[in-house]
Amino acid sequence: TITAQAMEGKMGFKESLAARFASLALNAHHIQQTIAILKDKITPSFIRNQAFLKKHADNIIILSGSFIDIVWPVVKNFGLKRENVYANRLLYDYDGNIHGYDRDFPLAHNQGKVLLMQQLKLTGDIVVLGDGYNDYEIK
């Protein structure tokens, strides 16, 4: 699949995002359905560590190739800070239909997480948890 190819580094993230997006006709209702599904799929260890997440919220940053419209509603109840959550941005029309995404945002590009990390200019020890090639690129 397109997603698997991107996760394995066989296809650039920018190209995979465009290809995946082109194959879908989405609206705001689909986003709400996705949020409801994902809230039920949060790993037990993430839920178990909610106190830790809240205590260290100033130092926890989420970088996601997904969309802020989905990521933030899923993680906001864990005490994390909205300003520390970075994800792509969907573009809607007045009827709630999604007609694209912000192609200028760093996370919409190849090496987007690397670029955003450079822009954040973090200091000290940095620990990255991820599940795909674009997470590995941060190293």
Place of tokens 């989405």: 26
The residue type of 128 is V
Extract the tokens encoding 110. Answer: 């190849």
**Residue 136: CA count within 13 A, CB half-sphere:** 8
pLDDT in tens, the chain (139 residues): 777 777 777 878 778 878 877 777 889 999 999 999 999 999 999 999 999 999 999 999 999 999 999 999 999 999 999 999 999 999 999 999 998 899 999 999 989 999 999 999 999 888 888 888 888 888 8
Question: Residue 16's pLDDT is what?
Answer: 82
d(CA 63, CA 89): 12
* Pairing relationship of beta strands 85-88 and 62-67 according to DSSP bridges: parallel
| Nearest one of 98, 50, 108, 97 to 78, comparing CA atoms | 50
DSSP string, 69-88: HHHHHHHGGGT--GGGEEEE
